[in-house]
Amino acid sequence: MFTSTGRLTDFICGSAAANDIWSPRATVQAMLDIEAALARVLAAHGVIPASVVEAIVAACRAEHIDADALMTGAAAGGNLAIPLVKQLTAVVKANDAEAAKYVHWGATSQDIIDTGVVLQLRAALDALDADLRALSDALAQQAARHRATPMIGRTWLQQALPITLGLKFAQWLDALTRHRARLAELRSRALVLQFGGAAGTLASLRDRALPVAQSLANDLGLQLPALPWHTQRDRIAEAASFFGMLTGTLGKIARDISLMMQTEVGEVAEPAAAGKGGSSTMPHKRNPVGCAAVLTAATRAPNLVATIFAGMVQEHERALGGWQAEWEALPDLARLTAGALANIGGIVPGMEVNTERLARNLGATQGLILGEAVMLALGDAIGRLEAHKLVEGASKASVANGTTLYDALAANETVTSHLSPERLRALLDPANYVGQAQAFVDAAIANSQQLE
């Protein structure tokens, strides 16, 4: 029997953990957790009778909620909290009519929905933090392993100058180190309670408002902001921005890997696994399916970020449309980010590196990529401009005659009068012209380790 209730692509661009965090059941349970905490702290401060707390807390379980009725009620009420509170009150009333009078006391729908999102966001950030650490460790290991492995660097998709494979890994690692720092900063600003009552004043709780708010924040393990933030959505926008930037970086990594994995390039490959990357018609194919999932996420993420940013322009004390636009955009964005991170995390540790292809591609131009190194060496003796003209002419001759740049240069008397054959060969060795690549690798690894 076909019983799936999720989207059929949930595991292509998402992850099991993220799908659970943002599932309908988890969303409902997060809101119910807040209702239970609210009852506890209200009783502790003498706002409601202590005798009603047990019945309310016992009812705050997702299995007591009719999902179909909740969906129908949300369409009529404009949000999930209204029908949820109605159902919760009915569940409590069935066991304790007196306790039912105190369900949702002093709160408004947005308090419950926003704080529920914050609880889910906290779980999502916890999961991302763990996966980011693991990916950073794997990249650091790969960068160290290939610190001195020469490869061609490419600009505008054309061969440029030699770099090292370790430097490419280090560039990815350095970006992720900044994202880890952003995540830590985001926690301090975004993981806060939303509790303001109908218009953000908590008037219904009178002189007990602030003590109740602080206790509620403590109960839920959140920070208490200076004031409610119903229509100030910068915290949510910052979370969206973080998700979008991280997904963009992961997309860049996936783009590099997929380009290097092309048949004609063949420098790296995603780890092999049964049933992974095959074609329905071509048995020989080994497709970069992990990269494809990440690039899909990176393609979708910017529009979701834009949706949340557009929703920041809200009306007075409560929003009409902008807040509601977040409800699907933020979870989708969080799921995509988690899925992209999981995919890259599954690729990097077991990435297959073909050093023979790296070397072959490095020599594809028969030395032309080292023309700059020779020009600078000659420039010391004959001046940069003259050296540039000489090497440029030799490069054209190399291409026209199908010879190596070494052969073209060695046939020039001006070159041989200033550079010995040994010196010329050394200048045309890619491993000798990677600049500070290895030092940059070391710096990236050190920066990452400082966050541990």
Active site residues: 279, 318
Pairing of strands 268-269, 158-164: unpaired
Cβ pair 219, 35 in contact under 8 A: no
Cβ pair 29, 114 in contact under 8 A: no
Cβ pair 363, 431 in contact under 8 A: no
Q: How far apart (Å, rounded) are the C-alpha atoms in residues 347 and 272?
A: 10
Helices 81-95 & 24-44 angle (0-180, nearest 10):
60
**Which DSSP string do the residues of 32-43 spell out, in sequence order?**
HHHHHHHHHHHH
Neighbours of 98 (CB within 10 A): 12
Contacting residues for 173 by C-beta, under 8 A, at least 6 apart: 136, 139, 140, 143, 444, 445, 448
3-state secondary structure of 228: coil
Which run of H or of E encompasses 150? strand 150-155
